[in-house]
Structure 1
Amino acid sequence: MPRILRAQHDRFALARPFRIARGVKTVAEVVTVSVRDGSHVGRGEGVPYARYGESIDAALAAIDRVRPAIEAGAGPHDLLALMPPGAARNAVDCALWDLEARARGRSVAELTGVAPPGPTASALTIGIDTPDAMAAAAAKVAGAPLIKVKVDADDPVARLRAVRAAAPGPRLIVDPNESWDEELLRAMQLPLVELGTDLVEQPVAADADAWLAGFTPAVPICADEAVHVADDLDRIAGRYQAVNIKLDKTGGLTAAIALADAAQARGLTLMTGCMISSSLSIAPALHIAGRCAFVDLDGPVWLREDRPGGVTDRHGIMLPPQPGFWGDGMTETDAANGIAT
């Protein structure tokens, strides 16, 4: 029986609005891919992102273009030449890894040589709102090990101070999503230290960050929008101290592992992040999380309803999906019967 690739647009309503510097999200729009080969089906998910010129329709069209190659037997490493980095390739890449794991009865962790996913401290995100509203949100997660706070250029100190007063204990990532300029970032150095910030994520625009090469920050700066794949490191390595590895940017787990290897070889700190997504995006990313000093995979926490069997958040500790969900080498029959292979 020949392989069959299917791709579709799925929507997941959010339990509450998610606000960042470039807008508000109320629905997660994803592309879901399945690849069937005989009795085995592998699944993957991608989240097209307008910031990178992506859309649902364009992603579905890109996947359709590689359908003949996938159905003829192309694997994850073949995709590196067949598709550019991005959400479309991520969905296909992860579906192929899941399929291979099920067909071979071995986990993706075994097949790739990475540590198997386990309980992981993952940031809980506080979106942009009034200082009082952000403080109230922070109070609810004050016992978590790590929080991430979204800010923009509108009085970020007031918002961060409100959050810190309500949640003094957790490690802190500050994420302006490219909304600051050089003047504001320089002015924020002392407040960031006073607030006990551990990492600042992409404070300035990725296309206006050249000056960072001569800047010594008081708090490490992490590249997000500025880095997608390993080839980007030559340009950004002297400007940032950390890199955020997102599978929707790298175009799947295959390229994410390559980026992690190359970044570590340069002495850069690793972070892994996600878009607002279902657990089908998070399960593959957990295979990178074990190597990272900072993990931010709370995308499904924002959903009103996730895919069945997905990840679970326990006060900032993310638990892997249930057996058979993705990448653990269980067949569909074994998963249905609760039998581990």
Structure 2
Amino acid sequence: MTNRRHPMIKLSAHIEKLPLKQPFHITGYTFTACDALVVTLRDGECSGRGEGLGVYYRHDTPSTMLQQVEQLRDTIEQGITREQLLELLPAGGARNAVDCALWELEASRANTSVWQLAGLRRPESLLTTYTLSADEPEVVDATARSFVNARALKLKLTNDPLNAERVRAVRAACPDAWLMVDANQGLTRESLMRMLPTFVEARVAVVEQPFPIGNESWFDGLNYPIPLAADESVQDRTDLHGLEGRVQVINIKLDKCGGLTAGLTLAREASALGFRLMVGNMGGSSLSMGPAFVLGSLCSVVDLDGPMFIQADREPGVSYRDGHVWCPDAVWGGSHTIAA
């Protein structure tokens, strides 16, 4: 007979499908739903939750993430620190979900909030981008006009001839909004340079991930007059030095780097190297936005609009008002308890 200690923590992990309101298009992909791994950790009346969507282009899916968590079930339930988790799971969605659950569990035990545990200032609402799919220009125009409260927009581009029309449509629909574009690896040096007059005329503030992963040398010698941001090219802290002198902005996503613990470390190291910080998301519900909102207090660019695109969010959820996102501690990160 095997003797097993009674678990200190009760782990629950399952996959949830979050259907989108309408298909969402980026370079090479069309999404109709977000599949999310949801992890809950209970210790008596205290609990913590985390949600991970993974990194689709690295084949980091909720099903593989669930397998990773289940393989660590005994270790997690016997008690694990966030520092130990960094050694036991690789960067990705599984570690993100467990790490965020550990943060909230710690806050629940201490009857405090995650932002206080992290030594950050009290949160304020954050100006967030509202994202536009790479649709036909007339659809982009209509969608932009429907975002009546938006003060910042993020337009998805793709590798087709319609990008310039999309950019002009957004600027015509929202003449005063802050605007960035995200190519999701869909451009070349030549197509990026061809787009420059359109970007300048439309007052594009940031161009995100124009080139495919592995072609970071294409940034060399560009001297582009608009700040460039890395997303897919920076998965975690190990990628930072390869981007020095090539981009100006680092997009931190907790699913990429593997949780709030790693995200805060990445933010500190990127800032020390002179990068501007952006926080983004892979989609998901307010349970994904909560930890990213904590990180957002350190960032000059915030893209936390995921719940706007799913058919039904969690209750309570983050709120969007006057172009800002707000996440109370009751949504995630406060002294949270779950009834048995």
Give the TM-score taking structure 1 as reference length: 0.94
Matched, 1:167 2:174: yes
Q: Is the 8 A contact 2:286 2:331 kept in 1?
A: no
Matched, 1:290 2:290: no
In structure 1, how many angstroms separate the alpha carbons of the residues matched to 2:336 and 2:54?
A: 29
Instruction: Read off the aligned partner of 1:75 and give its amino acid letter.
Output: T
- The Cα of 1:14 is off from its aligned counterpart by 1.2
Partner of 2:228: 221
Matched, 1:107 2:141: no
Deviations 1:7-66 (A, max 9, x none): 100011111221111221111100000111122111000002320121222101111122
Secondary structure at 2:180's aligned position in 1?
strand
Instruction: Read off the aligned partner of 2:48 and give its amino acid letter.
Output: G
Q: Is the 8 A contact 1:45 1:90 kept in 2?
A: yes
Once the two structures are superposed, the pairs formed by residues 148-187 of structure 1 within 5 Å of their partners are 148-154=154-160, 155-187=162-194
In structure 1, how many angstroms separate the alpha carbons of the residues matched to 2:129 and 2:230?
A: 17
Matched, 1:208 2:215: yes
Counterpart selection for 2:241 from 228, 234, 238: 234
Deviations 1:50-84 (A, max 9, x none): 20121222101111122222111111121110110
Once the two structures are superposed, the pairs formed by residues 48-197 of structure 1 within 5 Å of their partners are 48-141=54-147, 143-154=149-160, 155-197=162-204
| 101-110 or 183-192, which deviates more | 183-192
Q: Is the 8 A contact 2:219 2:247 kept in 1?
A: yes
| 27-36 or 65-74, which deviates more | 65-74
- The Cα of 1:95 is off from its aligned counterpart by 0.3
Q: Is the 8 A contact 2:128 2:304 kept in 1?
A: yes
In structure 1, how many angstroms separate the alpha carbons of the residues matched to 2:121 and 2:23?
A: 34
In structure 2, how many angstroms separate the alpha carbons of the residues matched to 1:92 and 1:235?
A: 29
Cα distance, 1:330–1:8 mapped onto 2, change above 3 Å:
closer
- Regions of 4+ moved over 6 Å: none
Partner of 2:50: 44
Partner of 2:19: 13
Partner of 1:317: 324
In structure 2, how many angstroms separate the alpha carbons of the residues matched to 1:65 and 1:77?
A: 18
Q: Is the 8 A contact 1:116 1:287 kept in 2?
A: no
Q: Is the 8 A contact 2:206 2:229 kept in 1?
A: yes
Q: Is the 8 A contact 2:55 2:256 kept in 1?
A: no
In structure 1, how many angstroms separate the alpha carbons of the residues matched to 2:64 and 2:84?
A: 21
Secondary structure at 1:307's aligned position in 2?
coil
Instruction: Read off the aligned partner of 1:157 and give its amino acid letter.
Output: A
Instruction: Read off the aligned partner of 1:290 and give its amino acid letter.
Output: S
- The Cα of 1:310 is off from its aligned counterpart by 1.1
Q: Is the 8 A contact 2:54 2:256 kept in 1?
A: no
- The Cα of 1:332 is off from its aligned counterpart by 4.7
Partner of 1:270: 277
Partner of 1:337: none
In structure 2, how many angstroms separate the alpha carbons of the residues matched to 1:211 and 1:153?
A: 17
Q: Is the 8 A contact 1:103 1:331 kept in 2?
A: no
Taking only the aligned residue pairs, the percentage that are identical comes to 39
Give the TM-score taking structure 2 as reference length: 0.94
Q: Is the 8 A contact 1:142 1:168 kept in 2?
A: no
Instruction: Read off the aligned partner of 1:34 and give its amino acid letter.
Output: T
Superposition RMSD in Å: 1.4
Instruction: Read off the aligned partner of 1:45 and give its amino acid letter.
Output: E
| 17-26 or 268-277, which deviates more | 17-26
Deviations 1:193-247 (A, max 9, x none): 1110010110110211212132211111100000011121111122111100000
Counterpart selection for 2:264 from 257, 260, 265: 257
Secondary structure at 1:188's aligned position in 2?
helix
In structure 1, how many angstroms separate the alpha carbons of the residues matched to 2:140 and 2:256?
A: 28
> Structure 2 unaligned runs (5+)?
1-6
Cα distance, 1:58–1:332 mapped onto 2, change above 3 Å:
closer
Partner of 2:312: 305
Secondary structure at 2:91's aligned position in 1?
coil
Partner of 1:336: none
Q: Is the 8 A contact 2:137 2:165 kept in 1?
A: yes
| 307-316 or 247-256, which deviates more | 307-316
